[in-house]
Structure formats: C-alpha cells, structure tokens
Structure 1
Amino acid sequence: MGSNQKVIVLAGVGNLGKYVCEKLLSGSQWSLVVISRQTRDWFKQREIDVRITDYTESSILSILDAVHASALISFYNAADASFLGVHCAMLNACMASQSCQRFIPSEFIGNIEDFPLYPGIYGDTRAPFRQILQASKGIEWTLFQNGWLMDYYLTRDKTYMPPIPDEFPIDPNGWKACIRGTGEEPQSWTSCRDIAAAIVALLAAPEWEPVTYVCGQWGSFNEMIPIVEQFYGKPLPTTHRSKKEIQGNLRAREAAGDQDSLILAQVDEWMVAGASECPRAKTLQHRERYFPELHFMTLRELLESSKCREMF
C-alpha cells in the first residue's frame, strides 16, 4: 500500500460491490481491502487484498486497525436479523478503530426520507439500524441511495448483476415484461458503474450528509419499454399487475409466512408507491455538490455502451 493512499475497506462484496472494487483499483488515490468470510477467484484474479472475518466486532476491528482503514463500505445484504447484528458490529468497530473515520452501510435503495419503511424488508432491517446510526458519535456516515440498478435492463453477459426476472419488471433475458400498477409510477435508475464512480467520488468529499442520492434517469416503466424495444429490435411481450393485485398478493403472502414471496410482493408495493424515485431536487443538489465531474448515464447510453462489453 502506498504511503499516501487512503485504505478503503469493502465488506460483503457481492455483485454491486465488484464495480466499486474495479473503480478503486483503477485509481492511485485509494488502496483496497476486502473483508469476507472466504476469498474467491474473482478477488484472486485481481490480486485484491482479502482479509477473512466472521463479522464479529473484534474481528472487524482487528482488520481495520491492521490495514489502517480510513473508511468502511458495506454491501452486506440480509433479509433477517443478521443484518442488524453485522452492521452494529461494523459500526462499533469503526468507532473503536484507530483510523476509520467514515462508514457507508448497505442501503442502495430509493427515497428513504419520504418512505422510510419501504420496501417492507428494509423497514424490518435497515430502519432499526438507521436509528442506531443517528445516535452514534465519533464516526461520519451516509446512507447512499440510487433507485433501481439500471443494469437490470442488460442481458446477463453484460453485467455483474444476476437476472431478477420476478422482481424487476423488464426481463431482457427471458424477453418479457410485467408492469406493476399503471406503469406511470415515477422511478429512478442508476447504472452500477455510475454508482461506483459516485461512491469513490464521495470518499474525497470533505463532509457528508446523512443521506446521499444519485440518479441516472427519472421516468416510468412505460417510458422505458420503447427504449428497450428499439435497442433490442423487437416488441416486448408485456403483461400487467394492478395495484389491487399487488395489495392482495401482499396480504396473502404475509398470511402464508413465505419470506421470499413476501419480499417480492413488498418490492412491488415499493415501486407502485413511488418510493423507488430518488427525490429530484435533493438528488440534483447532491450531484452539484459531490459529483460535478461525473456524467450519469441514461438508459439509452447504458445500452449503447454495453454493445462492446462482456463481463465474463
């Protein structure tokens, strides 16, 4: 590690986190360390420094101090109580460390200020941790929000993000769509590479706000379908799921206790409520304050850029 480089530690790196790894590796200002339960070939191929952890506070603290970390960014995603336990361990380790001054917990969702309990799984996991964060002292943090990941419009060979055809309304792999509500509900999308660039740019900012918003494009799914059809050169078979159906599914799955199906119903509720739309005025303020040098891609730009890119 260069003596002038700040060490950034990433935790729970899955798919979105890979883009942040690549962005950090591409610059000379930062040194990257990943903490994980196990190493993987993807890390080895890029010679990424991986430190093994069991995600207890003592384990995380020992790593932060050993590498002289200046910031910890979490991509640890869980739908149960382990989310709160692991993030409390991360927060406590940051506050106890000798050098770690900043923390970005795993969020990456939408408008949490107007819709703090949407989707329901975030109300169960993230909302309690947000309250703990607000009471913390001695650590700077921000809740990073980006709306939908725009990469779900790409085929599986063009992105690290695995397909989620039951969750994201437009399925470019199975070539079908199921539009929730009227299709006119407001949404936000941001490409994964732009999210990574924004996170790295944010690391250089002198001060953070409690919530940070980014967005590549605002619109509705009805507006996006013609763009997708034009790019791929064929009509997209489309079905619809009404708000009434979504509410019925939500009640039925709550009664059945099927966690996976319930989460899908909660995401449907989230998008038709408009909670996936990052607030425009505040997002543009953040763009001017934190990201004046970044260009956030629209869907057309992302699709065009994907023509010459394969991830694997």
Structure 2
Amino acid sequence: MKIAIAGTGDLARYFYTSPRLHTHNIIALARSRKTFLTKLSIEQRITDYTVSSLTSHLADCDAVVSTISAEGTDHVTAHLALLEACKRSPRCKRFIPSEWTGNIEGHPSLEPRYMHETREPIRRGLRAQSEVEWTIVLVGWFAEYLLPPGHEGRHFGDLEVGWPVDHVKKLFVLYGEGEKRVTLTSARDTVAAVVGLLESGERWEEYTHLAGETVRWRELLETLQRRDGEWTSVERGFEDALRQVEEAEESGEQGKKVETQLQLLGYTDYNCVDIGKAERQRGVYFPGVQSREVVEVLDEIEVTRESVA
C-alpha cells in the first residue's frame, strides 16, 4: 500500500520513523525538501497544497494521513485541497485529517474557538461528500509530552501554559483540584493504530477513539512524585486561567491565545476519549495494537539514563 503523509512537523516524525508504517510504501508531502526525510530514504513530493499539485502527487497513492497544524484559513485550505485531490484520484480514497487531540465527538460544546474555526469547515466538507472514506482520530493528549524536552522519544516542542508539566522546574500546575480526566496516548501507538485502520477492510466510523491510559490530573501528579520526590505542584483556579485567556486575546498573539485556550480544557473532560468505544474499535480495526500506560512511557526516561550511564 502506498501511503502519503501530509506534513513534516512534530507529529509527522513519529509516522516517518515508525517501523510499522515502513512495511508500506511511504510518500512525504512537504513544502520544501527535508534533510531528515532524505536520511530516512523517504520519497518527498514537494507541493504548495493547491488542488492541482496535490492531485498529481496523490494519483498513485492509496491513502493520505494529515499531520498538518497550520494557523487560521491555511489549515482549512490545505485540508479541503487534500480532500478534493482524493476525490479526483483514481486510487486515493481514504483520508485521515489532522485533528488528533481532544474528544470533539463527546464534548462538542467544549471545543476551543481556534479549533472550531480551523476544524469545523473541514468536517463539513468531509460530511458533504461520499467519494472518499474518512475518519477523525481522537487520542486525548499525546503521552510523549510527559518526556522532558530533548528526550530522544519526544519530537513535540515546548508548551508553556498549555501543558501543566514543567520539567525544568519540576513543577506541576493543577487545574483547580485536579479532578478532571485526561487520556494520554502514545504517539507511536497512535501511528500503529492508524496503520491498522489503513490495513483494515472494515468500513470506518466518523470518529475513531484511541485510549492509552485515562487518569485524573492529580493522579498524574502523584505518579510523577512517586518516581521523583522533587516534583512540586501549584493549584491554578479557573478564574486565573480565564484571566490569562483574556490577556492573550488582548495581546493578539496567536500562540498565546492557543495555549491559554488549551489550558482551559484542563478544567473539563474534553481531553478524555470514549474508553468503551476505543476498546470496541480496537477489536474491529487494529486488534494487535496495544497502547502503553503512563508508567511505561515514563520508563523511557530511565532506560535512556541507564544507556548513557
């Protein structure tokens, strides 16, 4: 099977380095040639994400998976162009758009404004057609954010207020009393599940839920403290978080607006996937894929330390 991966950012690197995905023919869709893809011997097809360019590149592919995370209308335009190219392709009739985090199916009213503005037009476009099969994959939150920046298993960049774990200060910001839940799913396990979806002959559902481990924020803090007693915590009330959102809106800085809105989700169960649906879908689409729990992801830190020592 020939699978196109759209994008070359943080999440994309888990796809390009996955042994499971390399059992197939991988194509990278990129705006410019990337050295790391050359080293991995992955074919790169340079595109400006217009329909005409993508139609040419996807003509001989069987499926396309998007890892694109662009700002504003650029995100919408690129995805609708990918969809149109799939419609025109004689073969590429399966498409997984870039959503991944959160649980929009279970909590549509909680979706942050920036997500709704860039994702909802794509969902409408997908639902309005029948030529291309698609599914939106929901993971909650990627567990690799628990690894410290610079760790070989973490490709994701730093978040400030958008993520409660500060590895440098060993400080954990509790959202209120920390009783809301979050599903932490490994990006590597996510890739394995996506490959299972692509290999499956079963008809996809509109939403596919992937569940590593679901915990309360306070439980996650306790796990970190059991492993390292230097971790401390501070509670942040909802009113303080809301004030940060308002200040970010006034600043006009897109990055700050996104991160503060992400923080607000910690006071809800938006980042918790449907565990029952995840287990059922695992049995249907990727029965051989096992998702690691939080402690198994954290064990990667110790393994790396031992290998360096």
TM-score w.r.t. structure 1 length?
A: 0.91
Contact in 2 for aligned 1:188/1:218 (Cα 8 Å): yes
Equivalent residue for 1:63, pick from 57, 64, 70? 57
For residue 229 of structure 1, give the secondary structure of its aligned residue in structure 2: helix
| Alpha-carbon distance, 1:77 to partner | 0.5
Matched residue type, 1:303? L
Matched residue type, 1:139? V
* Aligned counterpart, 2:18: 23
Contact in 2 for aligned 1:84/1:129 (Cα 8 Å): yes
| Alpha-carbon distance, 1:57 to partner | 0.6
In structure 2, distance between residues paired with 1:201 and 1:293 = 8
* Aligned counterpart, 1:100: 92
For residue 73 of structure 1, give the secondary structure of its aligned residue in structure 2: strand
Contact in 1 for aligned 2:21/2:192 (Cα 8 Å): no
Q: Deviations over 1:116-155 (max 9, x none)?
A: 3512211111012111111012000000110111011101
Equivalent residue for 1:197, pick from 192, 195, 198? 192
Equivalent residue for 2:101, pick from 109, 118, 143? 109
Equivalent residue for 1:137, pick from 118, 130, 144? 130
- Superposed CA RMSD in Å reads 1.7
Equivalent residue for 2:39, pick from 38, 45, 48? 45
Contact in 2 for aligned 1:16/1:192 (Cα 8 Å): yes
Contact in 2 for aligned 1:13/1:36 (Cα 8 Å): yes
Contact in 2 for aligned 1:120/1:263 (Cα 8 Å): no
Q: Which runs of 5+ in 2 are unaligned?
A: none
In structure 1, distance between residues paired with 2:148 and 2:224 = 11
In structure 2, distance between residues paired with 1:31 and 1:304 = 32
Q: Deviations over 1:244-269 (max 9, x none)?
A: 22223333433443322221221112
Contact in 2 for aligned 1:214/1:278 (Cα 8 Å): yes
More deviation, 75-84/166-175? 166-175
| Alpha-carbon distance, 1:70 to partner | 0.3
Equivalent residue for 2:116, pick from 99, 110, 123? 123
* Aligned counterpart, 1:257: 252
Equivalent residue for 2:175, pick from 173, 180, 183? 180
In structure 1, distance between residues paired with 2:239 and 2:142 = 26
In structure 2, distance between residues paired with 1:268 and 1:48 = 36
More deviation, 76-85/301-310? 301-310
Q: Deviations over 1:183-224 (max 9, x none)?
A: 111111101111111111111111211110101000111101
More deviation, 241-250/217-226? 241-250
More deviation, 55-64/151-160? 151-160
For residue 63 of structure 2, give the secondary structure of its aligned residue in structure 1: strand
In structure 2, distance between residues paired with 1:95 and 1:42 = 30
Matched residue type, 1:124? E
* Aligned counterpart, 2:219: 223
Q: Deviations over 1:218-245 (max 9, x none)?
A: 01111011211233x2321212211122
For residue 184 of structure 2, give the secondary structure of its aligned residue in structure 1: strand
For residue 264 of structure 1, give the secondary structure of its aligned residue in structure 2: helix
In structure 2, distance between residues paired with 1:285 and 1:173 = 39
Contact in 2 for aligned 1:34/1:50 (Cα 8 Å): yes
For residue 146 of structure 1, give the secondary structure of its aligned residue in structure 2: strand
* Aligned counterpart, 1:73: 65
Q: Percentage identity across aligned positions?
A: 28
**Correspondence 1:300 to 2:295:** yes
* Aligned counterpart, 1:271: 266
Change (3 A) 1:151 1:76: same
| Alpha-carbon distance, 1:25 to partner | 6.4
Equivalent residue for 2:232, pick from 231, 234, 237? 237
* Aligned counterpart, 1:3: none
Contact in 2 for aligned 1:39/1:50 (Cα 8 Å): yes
* Aligned counterpart, 1:87: 79
Change (3 A) 1:39 1:307: farther
* Aligned counterpart, 1:247: 242
Q: Deviations over 1:260-304 (max 9, x none)?
A: 222122111222121011022212221222232111101101111
Matched residue type, 1:95? K
Q: Deviations over 1:90-109 (max 9, x none)?
A: 00000001110100011011
| Alpha-carbon distance, 1:80 to partner | 0.8
Size of the aligned set, in residue pairs, is: 301
Contact in 1 for aligned 2:162/2:261 (Cα 8 Å): no
Equivalent residue for 2:275, pick from 277, 280, 283? 280
